[in-house]
Amino acid sequence: MMQSFHIASIKDARVVEARELTSVAGCARFQKTQLEGEESVQWALEAHLIVEHVFYSANLRPRAFLEMLQARGIACYAVSDGILKKISDTSYLVPVIGVARLPAAPERSLYRRRAAPYSRTGGADLRQPELVSASACWHGCTYCRAGSGRPPPRLLRWRR
């Protein structure tokens, strides 16, 4: 038998925290991420991430998935469909939303290089994006800040 906890208010601390995880700044501040859907929660568990709690639709029938989560000691909260839409910041319903802790980020000093003369990027080589820190990029592109996989713009002029 599944023990069910209900959250009826959008002002609950767990709901407020989960809503803030829709932004990159919120994920960075809390060192957590939002998992949308049963598959995402399952993948996080397989990757050995710590899933703190899961919100699910109150209209959802009891499933083996939710029983498995509770057997692992993960708190499951039934919420209304409106609260789920607010948590996921979507206009459609995501029936299961989880909150997982992110692993610790690597040390920033590993990504910095010694400053070179006449370098606007603080000595970082933009041709090797894994060596570029977020503060080294002077043009603020998403490639250097978030590692989106897109090459930097061709605005750079290399001085010798």
pLDDT tens-digit map of 26-46: 999 999 999 999 999 999 999
pTM of the model: 0.64
pLDDT in tens, 89-133: 988 999 999 999 988 765 554 445 544 444 454 544 445 555 444
Question: In the CATH scheme, what is the code of domain 5-101?
Answer: 3.30.1330.30
**Helix, strand, coil in percent for the chain, rounding step 5:** 30, 15, 50
Q: Write the CB contacts of 121 (distance below 8 Å, at least 6 apart in sequence).
A: 132, 136, 137, 138
| Residue 97 · residue 18 · CB < 8 Å | yes
Q: What sign has the CA pseudo-torsion 17, 21, 23, 28?
A: positive
Residue 55 pLDDT > 80? yes
**Neighbour tally for 23: CB within 10 Å:** 12
Beta bridge partners of 77: 5, 55
- Order of strands, sheet of 5-6, starting from the edge strand that comes earlier in the sequence: 5-6, 75-79, 51-57, 96-101, 32-36
DSSP designation for 74: -
Domain coordinates in residue numbering, the chain? 5-101, 106-154
